[in-house]
Each structure stands twice: as C-alpha cells, then as structure tokens.
Amino acid sequence: MKAATLRAFLTVHTWTGLIAGMALFIAFYAGAFTVFQSATAQWQRPELRESPATTPQQLESLLEEVTRTHPRAKENLWVYLPSPFAPRMFVFWREKKPEAEHLFAFGRDGRAHEISEESKLSDLINQVHYSLGLPERWGTWLMGIVSILYGLALVSGVLVHLPTLVQDLFALRRGRNLKRMWQDAHNVIGVLSLPFHIVFAFTGTLLCVLVLFVAGLNFIGLGGKGAALYQQARYAPEMTKQDAGAAMLPPAALLAAARDRAPTLQPHFMNYRSYGDAAATVSIAGPVPGHLSDLGIVTLEARSGKVVGVQLPGERGNAHAAVRGVTSIHYGTFGGLPVQWLYFLLGLAGAFLFYSGNLLWIESRRKRRQIEQPRVHRFLARLTVGVCLGCCAALSATFVASLLLQNAGGEWRTYYAVFLGSVLWAQLRPPARAAIELALLAGVLSLAVPVTNAIVTGDHLFRTAMTGQWQVFGVDAVAIALGLGFLRIAQVTWRRARNGDSNSVWSLAPPAGTAQPAE
C-alpha cells in the first residue's frame, strides 16, 4: 500500500476516533454493566434478595388479592417467576394516569406487601449506555451516528496496521518509552477484540438508527399503528375484551400448558392481559437454551389454556427473529455466564481502547523541546480525563445513591452532579492533577459501593457468599476490583507526573529548561 494511502487511512482513523472516542468510552463502560443488568436490578432492591419459598398456590392467591384490591392492575399484569436472576416471585403493574408503578410480593409473614419500586439503577445504566444520559430520543440518534464513525475507525485502523499486524500482534514493549507501550497495548487489544468490535459497531448502529427507520415506517406506511402491530407480531392478536367475568386457570396449569407446547422453555415471567375477563390472555416467556435468539413466548387463553400465539426460536417471524437476534448479540444474552463475563471484559477493554487512543494522539503531537504544550492538547487532555474518569466516578456514585436514596430522581441527579462536576474540575486543574484526583475519586466511590451495601442492608461479602446471593456478591466484588484498579491508575499517573518528561501535559515536575521555538 502506498505511503499516501496509509496516511489517508491514518487520518480517518485518528479523527473518527477523536470525534467518537469519548462517547464510545461512556457507551462501553456503562455497557459492561448492562451485561449483568439482572444482578444490578437485584442489588438495588434489598427487599427482593431473600424470600420465603413461594408455591403456585400462593401465587394464585397473590393474584387474586392484588386484582381484588387494585382492579386497574387487571389490564396489564406481570408476574416475575423465581429464576437465577430474580430469586423472589413478585407481581408488577404500571398505571398511566396518574403515572405510577406497583410491585407486590409475599413477606415472611405469608401476606402480600407492596415493595418500593423507586430505584431505577439498572435502567439508568442502560440509558447511559445507549443515549449517554442525554434525552432518550436525541441521545439514541447521536449514538447511531457515533456507531457509524466507530465502524469507520475500525476499518481504517485495520488497514493502517495491516502491514505490521503479525509481527506486532503480541508485542508489548515495556520500558522507558511509555508512548510505545501504550501504542502496543492499544494495538493488541484492538486487534484481538476486533471481531467483537465489528459486531458491536454493526448491532449498535442497527439498534440506534433502526428507531429512525421504524418511526418513519410507522408514520408513512403503517398509519401510526406500528406499536399495535409489533405487539401482535411479538405475542398474539389481542382479543377483544368482553367485559364478562371468567375464572382464570391456576398459574400452575397455565405453566404446564406452556411447557407442553414448548418443553425446553424456561419460564421467567407471565404477562396477563385483561385478567379476570373472558377474553384474558397470558404470555409466558423465558429463555430457550441453545439458541442465539433465545427468548421464547407462548401466549394462552387464561381461562382455558388454549395456545393462541407462539414466538419460539425457529418458529417466529423473520422480522422479529432478526430484531431479537441483533439485541441478543449486542447485549450478550446468549450463552450464559461465560458469554456474559466475556462481554463484560470486552466492554472494559473497549473503554480502555478509546481512552488510550486519545492519550496517544496527545503524546504523538507533543512538542518535546517546548515546556508549554499547545492549548488544544491541554484542552483535549482535560476533556478526556473529565469525561472518561468522570463517567466512572458518576456510575459508582449512582450505585451508592441507589441504596441511600431509593429514588430514581435522586439517582439521576447524583449521576449528573458527579459527571458534570468532574468535567468542570478537570477544566480547572492541570491535566496531570485532574487525572490523579479523578482516578482517586472513582476508586473511593467504587470501594464505597460494597461498604454502603453492608451498612444499609447488612449484606456484606461474606454473608452474601454464605447465603448464596451470588448476584449481590458479584456486584460488590466487581466494585472492589474496579476501586483498586482506579487507585492503581492514580498511583501510576502520579509516578508519571513526578518522574516523566517534564515537557508534557501529564507532568508535575519543574520544567527542564526554558521554552524554545516549537519544532
């Protein structure tokens, strides 16, 4: 390949990476946590961590009690069944006017109790992942554009490094040349995780930009009936409410009927529509192991158990199978824990890739004989530190706030306060000091996550391990690992600032000499 062509691809790779890098850092770091969204959802609700065993007969009485005392719940009632991701059975519904959410479960006294559903930690993390914490519509469209730039950066990066790909693949040259070591680490992680990054770029673009396509199709071709058609395609044709009371089959009988139709389906939840009416339906859903698009749904008549709709791997419509497959690939919901941990590590590695890319751009343009570095380099260094480490600190702070406040509004205010405060702090401090201080902040807040859990709920690491609460244990253990990692980053950054080249934006050492004309 000609040198001019290589330079052109390097320019494309550099500028697409710089433009999209910080947004992608947020998406990848938050995305690593969305892989374990069910664990986060359990961690944020202490009331649901331990539960007495609930029998199908108790579920039937719970449904009867809830629908008797809250008639509006009959319209769209959800039952979450015990599973590895949510060990406690509970009933949930959402009211539109006034807007409210309700969650009921059995207490240890054997009676139904309403449980606070104010914490939205897992939803917050997911929204930060796909919309950067911006208003959902605009943030999603922005991430669609970012995903396209991400794809360009991947293609151009491969072409740039293709000539030396094999000889440099496993080269991690440590020594006094820190720039070369960072370059090697950036290249190795980028190449080894390239297939996954291609998948993330492609599926991320589809999931974000597809919203625009579907919205346009709904307006132009479907006359605004897209939501109803999607509901029909996903579940079954909704039956016309008859306003005639009818006895519902017991949940145990409905689950047995679903298993007869789909023996490998593992039911995780039931969705009743028009509970207690002659036209009531119930959709029983859960994973079907051994498939990429593994969500299975069997819809039954709630009074007779007759199958009225099926969405199973190999039996669903092509459009639904494609959408579900893209979602499953993007979030790693197939393959169980090994795939989830792989996606988690790839998310953190991807965040490092974008962070290191910005640092390499700054270092490669450093004026080695000039004490005062260009203003644009200092600005980008401050912005990179503020956005990237600020996001890490903000998400850790939100975990703490979720237990202390149990309020979705308070969680969002905490996230924005720490994130925007970190960005502002980085602009007011020298880049090296900001990097050290924000890494320390992220480390302390991450270590505060298990401490807060132990103080507020009494569920410290040893207790959750002994009682088998592995989801809660995992959240606390990961927070400790991340906290120690951030403290190590602060230590290494401080050492570089004290002992590294003084003519650098990352130095705190006295200048080595007087300023000279730039090279």
Same domain flag for 32 and 167: yes
Flag whether 132 is in a domain: yes
**Residues near 8 by beta carbon (within 8 Å), at least 6 away in sequence:** none
- Structural domain includes residue 353: no
Question: Residue 13 is encoded by which pair of tokens?
Answer: 């790779």
Do 491 and 390 lie in one domain? The reply is yes
Q: What number of other Cβ atoms are within 10 A of residue 473's Cβ?
A: 22
Asked if 422 and 393 count as a contact pair (C-beta separation under 8 A), the reply is yes
What range defines the domain where residue 446 resides?
Answer: 365-510
Q: Tens of pLDDT along 3-36?
A: 666 666 666 666 677 778 889 999 999 999 998 8
In terms of residues, how long is the chain?
519
Of 104-113, 225-234, 398-407, 472-481, the range with the lowest mean pLDDT is 225-234
pLDDT for residue 426? 93
Structure tokens that stand for 292 in this block: 């990429």
144 and 5 part of one domain: yes
Smallest CA-to-CA distance from 18 within 377, 343, 348, 368 is with 377
pLDDT score recorded for residue 204: 84
Q: In terms of domains, do 371 and 480 share one?
A: yes
Which domain-ending residue is among 331, 356, 385? 331
- Asked if 215 and 232 sit in the same domain, the reply is no
Q: pLDDT tens for residues 36-95?
A: 888 888 888 777 666 555 666 778 878 888 888 888 888 888 888 877 656 667 788 877
> How would you label 128-157 residue by residue, b for 16+ Cβ within 10 Å and e otherwise?
bbbbbbeeeeebbbbbbebbbbbbbbbbbb
Picking from 92, 118, 144, the residue at the C-terminal end of a domain is 118
Nearest Cα residue to 190 out of 213, 220, 161: 161
Mean pLDDT of the chain: 79
Tokens 């959240």 -> residue = 475
Does residue 459 fall inside a structural domain? yes
DSSP structure class, residue 245: B
Instruction: Please indicate, yes or no, whether residues 27 and 134 belong to a single structural domain of this protein.
Output: yes
Whether 437 and 321 share a structural domain: no
In a domain, 476, yes or no: yes
Give this prediction's pTM.
0.80
Q: Give the rounded percent of residues in the chain with a pLDDT score beyond 70.
A: 73
- For residues 123 and 105, state if they share a domain: no
Are 111 and 283 within 8 A, CB to CB? no
Last residue of a domain, one of 83, 118, 153: 118
Q: CA–CA separation, 218 vs 226, rounded Å? A: 5
In a domain, 408, yes or no: yes
